[in-house]
Structure 1
Amino acid sequence: MERIALVFPGQGSQYPGMGKLLYEEYQEARDVFNEANEVLGYDLAALCFNGTVGQLGNPEKMFPAILTVSVAAYKVYMKLVGIKPVLCAGHSLGEYAAMTCSGMMEFKDALKIVALRGVLANKVTASLDGIMTVVDGIDRFILQKACEEASINDKKAVISCYNSDEQFVIAGNQDAVMKVEDNVLTMGGTVTPMFMSAPFHSFIMEEASSILRGELEKCSFEDGNFPVISNVEARPYAGKECVVDLLSKQLVYPVRWKEIMDYFKEQKINLVIELGPQNILRNLSKINMKTVQTFSFLNVDDIKTLMEFTLKDRKKYFSVVDECLKVAASVPNKNWEKDEYRETVVESYKSLEQLRFNLINEGRNASEEEAEIALSVLKEVLKGKKVSEENQQQLVGEVLTNSGLILN
């Protein structure tokens, strides 16, 4: 089985037309956009598909747009591929998409929070002295020293994102950041100013962080269906009780993306799939994890290749459904109570048959979730036929063995 990690991009990944292909081809994507339109009170789909670069560059609109495209991509991924990830992570803003797709946070709440995050960003940009710049080709410790030397009195520059061994983002007061830029250029590095961006992940966002915390406290959170890696700690959220604190701190603390990629390696991830506009994180994954397969799910060629790459695993899920039907039909019955047998065995068997019929009719393999449903229904059939607990476990084990699949 492939060990999959899903990654979700943040600010800077937006572009006019993003998500349009998914919207036109898949009802699952249309449902996501329709919900976003309803929550936000404007036509987000029209903005994403027909908006100008300037309109999509406004954080108040940009952040919900990127989140929506990412969640839509996840819904389509689960329809087409259907393999639950081992874990997921989002870069900066992308952490909200990761939280939503894992089930830790409701989509409607995430939309409202990221829209507020955009409003706060605009206020900071308009009223405070702060900028951001991407730095390439400089060692981390040299850059750290350059930031320290440029920070005088209350004018400071800090590293706000650790993207790879040689790519970083710096943020802080304009004078200090520009001094660091000059030093970087002198040392042979390159700089790419992030025009009109608030200085995220820096001390300048402390007041905004407090306001965001107040709104996060009004939301409800769950533990999620798979782990989400925190930008602040570069480790999985310990539980839903940590969400408010870590998402609030995220505005002030640096994004530890390089460490997150190192954690992926520790977890033996061998397939990284970017769900969202462009392929920024796919490219970073190639830099940080040179031996893994990487795909961008909004790239048509990548989707085709990914479907081929995961075909073997997806066929195994269909085999689970087939094997469950075989066992359900062949195992001897020891339950002579007709009404109970009809309710527990007959109806359950019919649902298995319907699941298989739907898969064949739709011309697709089963998802991991559907394979788990089939196993759950088989257990109901076995229980209804009064099969002993020991034999139930043995039969389920045979299903997994015969299908060539061990579920997580």
Structure 2
Amino acid sequence: MDMGKVAFVFPGQGSQYVGMGKALCEEHDIAVKLFEEANSVLGFDLMKLVFEGSIDELTETEHAQAAILTHSVAAFQVFMKEHKVEPAYLLGHSLGEITALTCAGAIAFQDAVRLVYQRGRFMQEAAAKGVGAMASIQQVDRGLIEQECERASVGGKIAVVSNYNSPHQTVISGHRDIVANICKTLEEAGGIIVPLQVSAPFHSPLMDRAVSKFREVLSKQSFDDMKWPVLSNVTATPYTGRDAIAGNLAKQMVSAVRWQDSIEFIQKQRVTWAIEFGPGKVLRNLIQKCTPSIRAFSYDITADRKSLEQEIRKSHEEDVNLRQKNLAAAVERCMTVAVCTKNYNSNNEEYHEGVIVPYRTIKQVLHAYEQDGTPITIEKVNEALQMLKSVFSTKRTPTPEQAFRFDLIRKEMEDLEICLDWKESLI
């Protein structure tokens, strides 16, 4: 399928909700299998926690991260099984970066579950409960927010920008009282403030203790090459290779998530579609706020999923139609060359058998396509080339002219993305 360039995106903590992924497990065995694998890694029933537990328990960092990753990978695998879509890029928000690396093949799923569970536990332990806070700030210039964070960070207490989400949404993280003071100032300046329901001040220097522990775990983890490019939250550009994974994932814990910059990067690479895999529609909404040039869908939202599947079917039909037009053009080109090639053979019987009969056979192929929509196959294009070979031979076309004409046809077919086996010489 060719929808243009597509990006797959994966959400981070905060998107979780009780019951997420239940429909996937009810309809797809591969989703059930992934939750069961996660259960075996974690040593408790993640599926029961996600489907039947309380939101408070699910929101605990180590639970939320393992649950979101498992749901996201399950949605990705279901989609890939049902649709032939090759992503141009994968990118995730915070935790979602590990999910993206997992779906790209850099991290084995069970290893990823273990990593995010430990990551969540380290992050929770890094700051005592109630010490830190995070808040989303809208309608305030990021430069002013940065200045306020710097101004308000005094007496060993700090607040920093933790997420650059969109042109109009920035998230800050730090000590609770400092975050509260900044929010009050910016609200008076016209900002819209939304306190975030998180259990720790993520992506801030308060996560330093978590970084050292997580870096040790990452040092023992093996990583594979990525099947598709994955963007790093730290650099907002694709990973240069698997050797950079451990360092970036550790640094990411105390660095701002450059989501807006990441979307601007894929936009410059002419990505026109984005599909969010995981709970909710946070990233879909952020992408829409970042740029109108990328159509974003959440696979978790029924209406979005149905719209996406309609677009895929429509795109597939357009691809098939274009393919048929290109194959017909290739056949017609062979017929045109056959007619235009000068004849050096005066033997009428040879001419009839070597030119007229094969030409009429190929003409019937084109006629059936034009009149009845009978599909033209690669085999029929090969038959048209063999017809042309017969015509050249019968008309006694000079070998250099044959080579020249076949070379032109070869290039035209490459332009039409028609792949044929040219190993056997047609001359």
TM-score w.r.t. the length of structure 1 is 0.77
**Post-superposition CA distance 1:316-353 (Å, at most 9, x none):** 58999xx9xxxxxxxxxxxxxxxxxxxxxxxxxxxxxx
- Classify the secondary structure of the residue corresponding to 1:126: coil
The CA deviation at 1:113 is: 1.0
Gapped regions of structure 1 (runs ≥ 5): 324-389, 404-408
Relative distance call for 1:226 and 1:112 in structure 2 (3 A) is: same
- Classify the secondary structure of the residue corresponding to 2:289: helix
The CA deviation at 1:182 is: 0.9
The CA deviation at 1:402 is: 5.4
Distance 2:316 2:215 in 1: 41
> Is the 1:125–1:197 Cα contact (8 Å) retained in structure 2?
no
2:165 to 163, 166, 169: 163
Distance 1:37 1:317 in 2: 43
Distance 1:55 1:305 in 2: 33
Match of 1:240 in 2: 242
Match of 2:273 in 1: 271
The CA deviation at 1:233 is: 0.4
The CA deviation at 1:129 is: 3.2
Distance 1:266 1:291 in 2: 10
Aligned-partner residue type, residue 88 of structure 2:
V
Say which is worse superposed, 138-147 or 232-241, in terms of deviation. 138-147
> Is the 2:20–2:51 Cα contact (8 Å) retained in structure 1?
yes
Match of 1:182 in 2: 184
The CA deviation at 1:100 is: 0.4
Match of 1:32 in 2: 34
Relative distance call for 1:150 and 1:16 in structure 2 (3 A) is: same
Question: Considering only CA atoms, is the larger Rg found in Structure 1 or Structure 2?
Answer: 2
Say which is worse superposed, 194-203 or 217-226, in terms of deviation. 194-203
Match of 2:82 in 1: 80
> Is the 2:19–2:51 Cα contact (8 Å) retained in structure 1?
yes
Say which is worse superposed, 31-40 or 3-12, in terms of deviation. 31-40
- Classify the secondary structure of the residue corresponding to 2:223: coil
Distance 2:294 2:36 in 1: 35
The CA deviation at 1:125 is: 3.8
> Is the 1:81–1:314 Cα contact (8 Å) retained in structure 2?
no
Match of 1:356 in 2: none
> Is the 2:16–2:58 Cα contact (8 Å) retained in structure 1?
yes
The CA deviation at 1:158 is: 0.7
**Is residue 292 of structure 1 aligned with residue 283 of structure 2?**
no
> Is the 1:132–1:197 Cα contact (8 Å) retained in structure 2?
no
> Is the 2:127–2:206 Cα contact (8 Å) retained in structure 1?
no
Distance 1:76 1:301 in 2: 17
Match of 1:6 in 2: 8
2:253 to 235, 245, 251: 251
Give the 4+ runs in structure 1 shifted more than 6 A: 317-320, 397-400
- Classify the secondary structure of the residue corresponding to 1:131: strand
**Post-superposition CA distance 1:54-101 (Å, at most 9, x none):** 111111111100000000000011012220100010001111110100
The CA deviation at 1:157 is: 1.1
> Is the 1:16–1:49 Cα contact (8 Å) retained in structure 2?
yes
> Is the 2:61–2:124 Cα contact (8 Å) retained in structure 1?
yes
Match of 1:228 in 2: 230
Relative distance call for 1:319 and 1:48 in structure 2 (3 A) is: farther
> Is the 2:234–2:257 Cα contact (8 Å) retained in structure 1?
yes
Aligned-partner residue type, residue 52 of structure 2:
N
Match of 1:217 in 2: 219
- Classify the secondary structure of the residue corresponding to 2:292: coil
Match of 2:388 in 1: none
Match of 1:154 in 2: 156
Distance 1:168 1:27 in 2: 39
**Is residue 282 of structure 1 aligned with residue 284 of structure 2?**
yes
Distance 1:5 1:197 in 2: 30
> Is the 2:60–2:199 Cα contact (8 Å) retained in structure 1?
no
Match of 2:390 in 1: none
Gapped regions of structure 2 (runs ≥ 5): 327-405, 420-427
The CA deviation at 1:14 is: 0.3
The CA deviation at 1:399 is: 12
The CA deviation at 1:400 is: 7.4
**Post-superposition CA distance 1:135-178 (Å, at most 9, x none):** 11111111111111111131111101000111011011222211
> Is the 1:9–1:280 Cα contact (8 Å) retained in structure 2?
yes
Distance 1:156 1:113 in 2: 28
Match of 1:123 in 2: 125
Relative distance call for 1:40 and 1:400 in structure 2 (3 A) is: farther
> Is the 2:9–2:92 Cα contact (8 Å) retained in structure 1?
yes
TM-score w.r.t. the length of structure 2 is 0.74
> Is the 2:127–2:207 Cα contact (8 Å) retained in structure 1?
no
Match of 1:140 in 2: 142
Match of 2:54 in 1: 52
Aligned-residue RMSD, C-alpha: 2.6
Distance 2:90 2:167 in 1: 21
Relative distance call for 1:17 and 1:267 in structure 2 (3 A) is: same
